[in-house]
Amino acid sequence: MTSRVEDRLREALVEAGATVDTGALRPLREPQGRRFRADFRLVTAAAAVVVLAGAATAVWLVGSGDENRAVAAGPGPAGSTEVAVFLCTKSAQEPKCQGRDATREEKDAINRTLSELSQIKEMVFREQGDAYRDFRAAFAHNKAVLDAVKATDVPRSFWLKLREGADWRDVEKALRGTSGVLGVVQQAPPLAETRQSLISVFLCGKESSLPACGAKREPAGKGGFKVTKEGKAVTLAQMRALERTIKAMPGVQSLVFEDKTASYEKFRRQFSENKALLQATKVEDMPEVFRLTLQPEADWAPLVSKLRRQPGVATVQSPCLVDRAVLMSAYGVSLPQSKVCPLDK
């Protein structure tokens, strides 16, 4: 993204009430440790970036206590009525979990609280073994994640289907401060569509602040930077050469080009209820992108490495950002970025 877009997104996030450090809109750094709270905030801050990167899902997350709240840039997507309540595990390292698994008594107490909520239409409890088997199947494409997560890391959970018009935040409020609760997560559909566009290749735009586009910058205060020379936009010749390169790559199943207008329409749909963010972002701010869908079990790492070196390419989104969000939202497991995305170290 250009520095102009970054500035607008930061301003919009502040106006929308985000409780995260909006400086996180720059490339995410590896969090220290495996604290559920810190990682939830990083993913929340990155919600707008996920959408710009082409994922069909953004994640809205909230911890179990007041100090753990991480308010997203806007309300959840329309029609999202599924909520997961994850229970404490020893490996979660959430202070309120006290380094232990939720007890049977705590689970029963959570069950009673949820059973009394009129907002809930259906409720299913997922045992740890079942969750771990689902996790192994879902992340068969990411050996790094499979190697990093043990069966005991995947928490037990309650999966809730809310009644039409119900507010998922009422569930979070009812459980706030409840012993044994690791996190309450609103699920943003559809997961299957999120996983389809595995690689997004962002092209250099006018006024780019990225060195890959020829920009020059120097450090500024508080870990930021200032641009001393703006980058150049991708040329037509570079776009055509990149398209030929992608089509010749092994494992590429389909290729779609997304212009600024198409990117903006996707952005508008994703954040339809976030007026501040929509007003802050214009069509001309949006990137041009090549979306690659890979064949099943295709090795994406060498493709991403090669694409990042091509002229006219600003940045390449690997499946890692989506994988990390799905890992937290669907399985309640927090991993450092280096564990999910070894290529992005």
Distance between start and end Cα atoms, the chain: 20
Percent of the chain at pLDDT above 90?
41
Average pLDDT over residues 80-91: 90
Residue 158 has pLDDT above 90, yes or no: yes
- Residue 236's pLDDT band, with cuts at 50, 70 and 90, is very high
- At 323, which amino acid appears? D
- Residue 196's pLDDT band, with cuts at 50, 70 and 90, is very low
How far apart (Å, rounded) are the C-alpha atoms in residues 50 and 173? 27
Locate 276 and state its tokens.
Answer: 């501040």
Residue 345 has pLDDT above 50, yes or no: no
| Number of other CB atoms surrounding residue 62 within 10 Å | 23
Locate 93 and state its tokens.
Answer: 């390292």
Q: By C-alpha distance, which of 2, 13, 39, 66 is closest to 202?
A: 2
For the chain, what is the mean pLDDT? Answer: 76
Asked whether 203 and 310 are in contact (CB, 8 A), the reply is: no
β-bridge mates for residue 262, sequence order:
none
- What are the residues whose beta carbons fall under 8 Å from the beta carbon of 250, sequence distance 6 or more? 298
How far apart (Å, rounded) are the C-alpha atoms in residues 68 and 195? 28
Residue 170 has pLDDT above 50, yes or no: yes
Highest mean pLDDT among 45-59, 79-93, 137-151, 170-184: 170-184
Average pLDDT over residues 214-226: 81
Supply the DSSP symbol for 214.
Answer: T
Please tell me whether the peptide bond between 190 and the residue prior to it is cis, using omega within 30 degrees of 0. yes
What's the pLDDT score for residue 6?
53
Buried b (16+ CB within 10 A) or exposed e, 211-239: ebbebebeeeeeeeeebeebbbbbeeebb
Residue 89 has pLDDT above 70, yes or no: yes
Average pLDDT over residues 235-252: 95
Angle at 156 between CA 36 and CA 80, to 5 degrees: 75
DSSP labels for 161-184? EEPTT--HHHHHHHHTT-TTEEEE
Radius of gyration of the chain (CA): 20
Q: Which of 70-74, 151-155, 339-343 is predicted least confidently?
A: 70-74
Residue 214 has pLDDT above 50, yes or no: yes
Locate 256 and state its tokens.
Answer: 């779609």
In the block, which residue shows the tokens 């997203």?
Answer: 72
Supply the DSSP symbol for 86.
Answer: E
- Residue 325's pLDDT band, with cuts at 50, 70 and 90, is confident
For 7-38, the pLDDT digits (tens) are: 555 555 444 443 333 333 333 233 333 333 32
Residue 120 has pLDDT above 50, yes or no: yes
What's the pLDDT score for residue 150?
96
Asked whether 293 and 197 are in contact (CB, 8 A), the reply is: yes
Supply the DSSP symbol for 189.
Answer: S
